[in-house]
Amino acid sequence: MRAGIFLIIALIFTDLDKISKINTAKSEAKKAFLSGDFDTAAKKYRYLVDSLGVTEDEVRANLAAAYYQLNDTTNALNTYSQISQSPNPRIRSVANQQLGVMADTKGNLEEALNYFRQALKAAPGNQEARYNYEVVKKKLEEKKKQQRQKQDEKQDKKEDQKNDPDKDQQKKEQEKKEQEKKEQDKKEQERKDQQKKDQEKKNQEKKDQEKKDQDKQEQKDKEQKEKEQQKKEQDEKEQKEQQDKEKKDIPPSVKEKLKNMEMSEEKAKMILEAMKNQEKQYLQQNKRKASKPKEKGKPDW
């Protein structure tokens, strides 16, 4: 009897411990999902289902939503499919709605429309499912309309070819002319591009030549300046040598006298040069007078 009581107590404590773990995992999963940590949320919900044996459709719906947010479409599709027939109308509606969204993403419009229809049957107040239903319905109608137009165009083309066998040949010739025109335009463009490249090359060569000429002229001017500088230095050197020579030509006695007279050698040279010039003028005047002798027997006037 006591063993049976202990067993019951053990089972009660075991259930309580499991319930505590379930509640903790649910709380942690919900917190992670709301904070955007969908990876942690998916692991927690997976733990509830696989390890703790939770079979609640709400937990599976949250697990599917976490998979969907992680772009794990395979697991999301499988999990939503498991609860698409849930006895809970709200969960059944949400599951079919999400299955419709994934089908629409893949381009399966008719399948998506059927899922949205099932979602509305389960919960007519699901406005998101209603909106998606209308959008996909219009997309499907537009797609069918385009398909009909293509079929009509194809049929018209067949009838045109049947009624006018030469039309197809004319079309081929027109396409050939258009192709030839494109090739001609392409060649013309290539020719213009080549002309542009040649002109750019010529302009660059001209710039390069002008640069060379400029450098050459600058070098020539530099050499000319150097020559002029050398000539100037040579003239100054010769002038200095001449001045030094003239200084040496003055006798020491004259230098002494100039020193006593407090006259510089330069000033003495200027005076001496002036006297020489006067002497030359005097001699030239006398020479002109002597060139015309007076005739004998004639008066001086």
Q: What is the pLDDT of residues 24-78, one digit of tens each?
A: 888 898 999 999 999 999 999 999 888 888 888 899 999 999 999 999 999 999 9
What does each C-alpha distance from 249 to 94, 160, 240, 252, 269 come to in angstroms?
129, 126, 14, 9, 11
Mean pLDDT (whole number) for 178-182: 90
Per-residue exposure over 268-277, b if at least 16 CB sit within 10 Å of its own CB, e if not: bbeeeeeeee
Mean pLDDT (whole number) for 263-269: 67
Mean pLDDT of the chain: 82
User: Which one has a higher pLDDT value, 290 or 202?
Assistant: 202
- In the predicted model, is pLDDT for residue 228 greater than 60? yes
Q: Which residue has the tokens 């044996």?
A: 53
Instruction: Evaluate if pTM is beyond 0.85.
Output: no
Q: Which residue has the tokens 């230098």?
A: 255
d(CA 259, CA 79): 130
pLDDT of residue 271: 75
Which of 94-108, 157-171, 211-225, 273-287 shows the lowest per-residue confidence on average (mean pLDDT)?
157-171
**Which of 129, 122, 81 minimizes the C-alpha distance to 101?**
129
Mean pLDDT (whole number) for 264-277: 73
**Domain map (residue ranges) of the chain:** 2-156, 240-278
pLDDT of residue 287: 62
d(CA 61, CA 50): 14
Token pair in block for residue 274: 């002036």
pLDDT of residue 297: 57
SS3 percent helix, strand, coil of the chain, rounded to 5, is 85, 0, 15
- In the predicted model, is pLDDT for residue 264 greater than 70? no
pLDDT of residue 239: 82
Scanning 164-296, the segments in alpha helix (DSSP H) are 165-249, 252-260, 265-290
Spell out the residues 6+ positions from residue 64 whose beta carbon is closer than 8 angstroms to its own.
Answer: 75, 76, 79, 80, 83, 95, 98
d(CA 285, CA 279): 10
pLDDT of residue 50: 87
Q: Which fold has domain 2-156?
A: 1.25.40
